[in-house]
Amino acid sequence: MLKIRNITVQYNKKDKPAVEDFSLNIKQGEICCLVGESGSGKTSVVRAVQGNLPGQGCVSQGDILFEGQSLLNYTENEWRKIRGTEISMIFQDSGAMMNPIRTIGSQFVEYIRAHGVYTKRQAWVKGVQMLKSVRLPDGEQIMNSYPFQLSGGMKQRVGIAFAMFFQPKLLLADEPTSALDVTTQAQIVRQMMKLREDYGTSIIMITHNLALAAYMCDHIVVMKDGKIADSGDRNHILHNSQAEYTKELLSAVPSLGGGYYV
């Protein structure tokens, strides 16, 4: 479904690239995690896939193929058609991505109608149904609420509802659980796993949590200084990796009684 071929991402030609020679293949229904310390280039990879690099950022080398077509050749109108429909994103803080002076319902209805042929009433009803599907029980109340009236976990579920409304083929998630308490993290993770089961959605997730990556992912890519330091399935990363940086990440996992529980 997605082929990233030896891409290099740069924000300034005079500076060192944020990402160098990065490659990754994602199949339908596959979950891949990008792990590594801050500044390792994880978010730059995801933003390159979304065609949303900030500032002067660009893919200076390589190519990104989505279902056989190069995303780097897309026009702005072509991007508008697939963003939110075929490729969606869940942000680290979904609440910060919402307009604070508009209700959830007004934003959700506008989003639905921008990508589909619906009346306001139809869009409202479908929005309520989608909120219920992500385990927000009172969809009508949520639609009439402002972002500041919702908890962090509720806002993340709203973000998931937005991202999954059109059943995208590829979901990009930038540390979607890092700002949440442990109990809510577990609920959000289960919700994301269910998306794959229900819709066959492929997921690329950024996380600092190696234990979370090991639980969720079919494939793990370890990044350091903009390059791939290690790559493989969870068994390879946890038990057979010879990469020193991967060993350092594993040694940072809290231990209990002398044993590491990842």
What is the percent of the chain with per-residue pLDDT over 70, rounded to a whole number?
97
Alpha-carbon distance of 42 to 262, in angstroms, equals: 21
The domains found in the chain, sorted by start residue, are 2-101+146-260 (3.40.50.300)
Q: What pLDDT does residue 195 have?
A: 80
pLDDT for the residue 158: 92
User: pTM of the full predicted structure?
Assistant: 0.88
pLDDT at 252 over 80: no
Cα–Cα dist 5/7, whole Å: 6
Q: What is the pLDDT of residues 31-65, one digit of tens each?
A: 999 998 888 999 999 999 999 898 889 999 999 99
Q: How far apart are CA 205 and CA 42, in angstroms?
A: 9
Distance CA 173, CA 10 (A): 22
Give dist(CA 189, CA 33) in Å, integer. 13
